[in-house]
Amino acid sequence: MMRFGTGSLAALFLLAGTASAQPCPKVTYTTEAATVKKLVASVNCLVGGAEKAKTATTEATGPQVDTFQMVGPQHSRAYRKIVVVLLVVPAGETTKTALATVENPEARIAATGGAQCRVIVNHDNTVDGQCNLTGGTFYVVYQN
Q: Where are the chain's structural domains?
A: 6-61, 64-143
Q: Residue 84 class from Cβ within 10 Å (0-12 exposed, 13-18 middle, 19+ buried)?
A: middle
Query: What's the rounded Cα separation, in Å, for the pair 108 and 141?
Result: 18
Sign, CA torsion 74/112/100/107:
negative
Query: What's the rounded Cα separation, in Å, for the pair 64 and 53?
Result: 17
pLDDT, residue 1, reads 44
pLDDT in 10s for each residue of the chain, 144 residues: 444 444 444 444 444 444 445 555 554 545 555 656 665 666 566 656 655 655 555 555 678 999 999 888 999 999 999 999 999 988 888 888 999 999 999 999 988 888 899 999 999 999 999 998 888 899 999 987
Query: What's the rounded Cα separation, in Å, for the pair 50 and 76?
Result: 34
Structure pTM?
A: 0.57
pLDDT, residue 53, reads 59
Contacts by 90-95, CB closer than 8 A, 24 or more apart = 90/134, 90/135, 90/136
